[in-house]
Amino acid sequence: MRPLDWAVLVGSLASIIAYGLYRGRGSNTVDRYLLAGKSMPWYAMALSIMATQASAITFISTTGQSYVDGMRFVQFYFGMPLAMVALSATAVPIFHRAKVYTAYQYLENRFDAKTRALASLIFLMQRGLSVGLTFYAPAIVLSVIFGWPDRLTTLIIGVTVVLYTVTGGIRTVTWTDVQQMMIILFGLVVALVMIVLLLPRQITFLDAVHLAGSAGKLNAVTFHFDWNDRYNLWSGLIGGMFLALSYFGCDQSQVQRYLTGKSIAQSKLSLLFTAMAKIPMQFFILFIGAMVFVFYIFEPAPMVFQRIEYNRIQQPELRARYEPIAARYQDAYDRRKAGALAIVEARHSGDTRAESEAIANYRRAQRDVDTARREGARLVEATGGEKGFRDTNYIFLSFVTKYLPSGIVGLVIAVILAATMSSSSGEINSLATVSVVDIYKRHFRKQGSDRHYLTASRVATAFWGAYAVAFAGLGKHLGSLIEAVNIVGSLFYGSLLGVFVLAFFFKRVTGTGAFVGMIAGEAAIFAAFLFTGISFLWYNVIGCVVVIATGMAVSYVLRPASATPGTAR
Amino acid sequence: MPPDPRAMPDEPPPFLGTWRRVYTAVIVYLALLIALCYAFTRAFS
């Protein structure tokens, strides 16, 4: 990092803190602190929802995912608009009319206290695990690339986020999210423009797109269905819809965003806008990863992008195992570059036969590059590296720090830190809200003053910030971070979704039925996770279906003899 | 039990007249995006 990078980075972060503190003025009641006094316009909520969802992991890991696996990850988001429509028509008006602070508060109105408590605890476990990952992602990557101590980076981000979140509550979180989203979008556009400008002179933008496509990196839609395949059209539409229903309908970190709306209509608009903007944004981020792939066709790319592990496997004691792999990698790399240049030449001259031959050679070389990279990863793993080692999270930042000019590096790092702050502030704020409203106020101190609960909310916010920093190291063992976050979410979301579906649509289901259903749903999800190879996107479907079926069965079996429709408890 | 839906009336959307039409527009938009992504995949593979 050069002085200009530091100036851009520090300037960006200082402006976020100052703006957050300015916007948080007047958050002096529980209603204002947790729900912004229900004063937010739709565009602020929409950008806040998007910013909360777009963490540093989105930029670090999604671009790397595209480099390695192509753009098919975008299908993961295809179910989101369907989910947003369903939620706008059901959950948004129901939550608003119930005048609740949290989604789980509604479950007590509908069922009973134990169902609310179980749902709250599931949320606290799931989100508590994820918030640590949110901090860990940038810290570990920056530690490898710049040598910054990961614990110190985590601590600095954590203290910054806690400072403005504790002070201003949800109003600060929402408005800083808006500002952070602007920085993120600007940084993304700059990054793509820079990559295209850095391509060799004879490679046009269209050539670059063709090269990415010929290597299978632009596979945005795949129809092939396989239960064990994570990303195809069907798992995206169905599994992705269930995940989005769970995330936006049952996860307090998202529900709290649209509960701050001025009206039901404003909250609906915020969700629908998010639904429409998310797929193009993810497409754009993945496309950046595909262009980084093309850039590295013409520039020397390390066999392993994680610098510390790459240096380690080149040590003299491992040289006998490393060198044959490195030789195969270099040979395949050179053939791929020659193939790419041949494709471009054939394209420019209009020679379709030569182009077909060049594409075949290029693809063969690409397969060999992939094989050598996998062998390199296995060598890392077999010689003391982490189990399941992958370097996906290091690809984009390795490119940024090595090739982008002074000032832009600082901007990209600011984007990554801004994304971390926007996600973690929302998560910490929602964890504090559930801790105070659903646990502390409901079970420990029912009759406190507004001032007391405001103080409790601030203390809980500080606690969850400290917890997130303390547990940030958990991500070290989880491979691709973007997948890790979604897998952790999918372990819990299905049963949460199931209980809300029961609450909204099944009038005869009782509190005990819902409670037992949630436990059965969690058991089914963990059984699928531990004993089958079913892709994680289906866990939400499995959990939801098991909760509904069990909830209905238990309610039917335990129904009182005199029960009448709509009065069961 | 779920609250009485009449207790807090819904506002109409700022465009397209009814929420049903807005929801339909979002689903049509999704179909269009998937079609564009498919065309993109085909064009460059």
* Contact (CB<8Å) B38/A93: no
* Contact (CB<8Å) B40/A210: no
**DSSP 8-state code for residue A389:** -
Q: Which of A390, A413, A430 is the last residue of a domain?
A: A390
- Cα(A562)–Cα(A565) distance, rounded to whole angstroms? 10
Same domain for A134 and A182, yes or no, is: yes
Strand partners, A40: A261
Classify residue A505: in a domain, yes or no: no
Which of A78, A94, A566 comes nearest B34 by C-beta? A78
Q: Which of B33, B38, B42 to mutate to test the interface with A (most CBs of A within 10 A)?
A: B33
The minimum CA-CA distance between B18 and chain A, rounded to whole Å, is: 11
CA atoms within 13 A on the CB side of A283: 18
- Cα(A224)–Cα(A363) distance, rounded to whole angstroms? 21
ipTM score of complex: 0.86
Please report the pLDDT score of residue A229 as a whole number: 66
Which of B14, B23, B37 comes nearest A89 by C-beta? B23
Query: What is the DSSP track for A494-554?
Result: HHHHHHHHHHHH-TT--HHHHHHHHHHHHHHHHHHHHH----GGGHHHHHHHHHHHHHHHH
Neighbour-count burial of A223, counting CB atoms closer than 10 A to its CB (0-12 exposed, 13-18 middle, 19+ buried) = exposed
Task: With beta carbons under 8 A apart, name residues in chain A contacting B2.
Answer: 94, 110, 503-504, 507
Which of B2, B19, B45 comes nearest A213 by C-beta? B45
What is the reported pTM? 0.83
Please report the pLDDT score of residue A563 as a whole number: 54
Contact call for residues A120 and A438 (beta carbons, < 8 A): yes
Q: Which helix (H) or strand (E) covers residue A303, if one does?
A: none
Same domain for A258 and A281, yes or no, is: yes
Domain assignment of residue B33, given as a range: 16-45
**Which of A405, A422, A398 lies closest to A190, judged by CA?**
A405
Compute how many other C-beta atoms are within 10 angstroms of the C-beta atom of residue A216: 18
Same domain for A173 and A259, yes or no, is: yes
Residue B20 in tokens: 């049903």
Same domain for A361 and A437, yes or no, is: no
Residue A3 in tokens: 């002085």
Please report the pLDDT score of residue A337 as a whole number: 94
Classify residue B39: in a domain, yes or no: yes
**Which of A44, A167, A131, A117 lies closest to A430, judged by CA?**
A131
Contact call for residues A394 and A145 (beta carbons, < 8 A): yes
CATH code, A208: 1.20.1730.10
Q: Which of A369, A390, A411 is the last residue of a domain?
A: A390
Please report the pLDDT score of residue A43 as a whole number: 83
* Contact (CB<8Å) B44/A212: yes
Same domain for A431 and A384, yes or no, is: no
Domain assignment of residue A347, given as a range: 307-390
**DSSP 8-state code for residue A471:** T
**Which of A188, A212, A181 lies closest to A199, judged by CA?**
A212
Same domain for A45 and A23, yes or no, is: yes
Contact call for residues A486 and A524 (beta carbons, < 8 A): no
Classify residue B1: in a domain, yes or no: no
Classify residue A123: in a domain, yes or no: yes
Q: What are the pLDDT tens digits along chain A (569 aa)?
A: 788 988 988 898 888 888 878 877 777 788 888 877 777 888 888 888 887 777 777 777 888 888 988 898 899 899 999 999 999 999 999 998 888 889 999 999 999 999 999 999 999 988 887 887 777 777 777 777 777 777 788 888 888 888 888 887 888 888 888 877 888 788 888 888 989 999 998 899 999 999 999 998 998 888 877 766 678 888 889 888 988 888 899 889 889 888 888 889 989 999 999 989 999 999 999 999 999 999 999 988 888 888 888 888 888 888 888 899 999 999 999 999 999 999 999 999 988 899 999 999 999 999 999 999 999 889 988 887 777 788 888 888 888 888 888 888 888 888 888 778 877 888 898 999 999 999 999 989 888 888 899 899 999 999 998 888 887 766 565 555 556 666 777 888 889 989 999 998 998 899 999 999 999 999 999 999 888 878 777 888 899 999 999 999 999 988 776 655 444 43
Same domain for A265 and A136, yes or no, is: yes
Torsion, Cα A492 A435 A464 A461, to 10 degrees, reads 140
> Per the structure, how many domains does chain B have?
1
- Cα(A286)–Cα(A77) distance, rounded to whole angstroms? 12
Classify residue B21: in a domain, yes or no: yes
pLDDT grade, residue B1 (50/70/90)? very low
CA A484 centroid distance within chain: 9
Same domain for A353 and A292, yes or no, is: no
pLDDT tens digits for B5-41?
445 567 888 888 899 999 999 999 999 999 999 999 9
CA atoms within 13 A on the CB side of A142: 25
Contact call for residues A282 and A63 (beta carbons, < 8 A): no
Same domain for A267 and A351, yes or no, is: no
Which residue in chain B has the smallest CA separation from A111?
B1
Place of tokens 């290597």: A215
Torsion sign across C-alpha atoms A438, A441, A445, A446: negative
CA B5 centroid distance within chain: 22
Q: Which helix (H) or strand (E) covers residue A102, if one does?
A: none
**Which of A376, A305, A299, A295 lies closest to A334, judged by CA?**
A299
Residues with Cβ < 8 Å from A231, sequence gap 6 or more? A69, A72, A73, A75, A76, A222
Torsion sign across C-alpha atoms A48, A49, A50, A51: positive
Classify residue A438: in a domain, yes or no: yes
- Whether chain B has a CB inside 8 Å of the CB on A74: the answer is yes
**DSSP 8-state code for residue A346:** H
Please report the pLDDT score of residue A396 as a whole number: 87
Task: With beta carbons under 8 A apart, name residues in chain B contacting A93.
Answer: 5, 8, 10
Same domain for A90 and A192, yes or no, is: yes
Classify residue B26: in a domain, yes or no: yes
Classify residue A371: in a domain, yes or no: yes
Classify residue B6: in a domain, yes or no: no
Classify residue B32: in a domain, yes or no: yes
- Cα(A418)–Cα(A331) distance, rounded to whole angstroms? 40
Contact call for residues A91 and A503 (beta carbons, < 8 A): no
CA A181 centroid distance within chain: 15
> Per the structure, how many domains does chain A have?
2
Query: What is the DSSP track for A182-223?
Result: HHHHHHHHHHHHHHHHHS-TT--HHHHHHHHHHTTTT-----
Same domain for A148 and A47, yes or no, is: yes
Classify residue B30: in a domain, yes or no: yes
Q: Which of A76, A268, A508 to mutate to test the interface with B (most CBs of B within 10 A)?
A: A268
Classify residue B38: in a domain, yes or no: yes
Same domain for A322 and A458, yes or no, is: no
- Cα(A425)–Cα(A433) distance, rounded to whole angstroms? 12
Contact call for residues A241 and A82 (beta carbons, < 8 A): yes
Place of tokens 């609740």: A100
User: How big is the A-B interface in CB pairs under 8 Å?
Assistant: 89
Task: With beta carbons under 8 A apart, name residues in chain B contacting A269.
Answer: 13-14
- Cα(A166)–Cα(A168) distance, rounded to whole angstroms? 6
Residues with Cβ < 8 Å from A421, sequence gap 6 or more? A16, A157, A160, A161, A176, A180
Strand partners, A261: A40
Which of A218, A503, A507 comes nearest B40 by C-beta? A218
Please provide the distance, in angstroms rounded to a whole number, between the alpha carbons at the two ends of chain B.
Answer: 53
* Contact (CB<8Å) B45/A94: no
Please report the pLDDT score of residue A330 as a whole number: 93
Contact call for residues A79 and A241 (beta carbons, < 8 A): yes
> What does each C-alpha distance from A221 to A111, A187, A237, A238 come to in angstroms?
41, 26, 11, 14
Neighbour-count burial of A316, counting CB atoms closer than 10 A to its CB (0-12 exposed, 13-18 middle, 19+ buried) = exposed
Please report the pLDDT score of residue A482 as a whole number: 56
**DSSP 8-state code for residue B7:** S
pLDDT tens digits for A208-234?
999 999 998 998 888 877 766 678 888
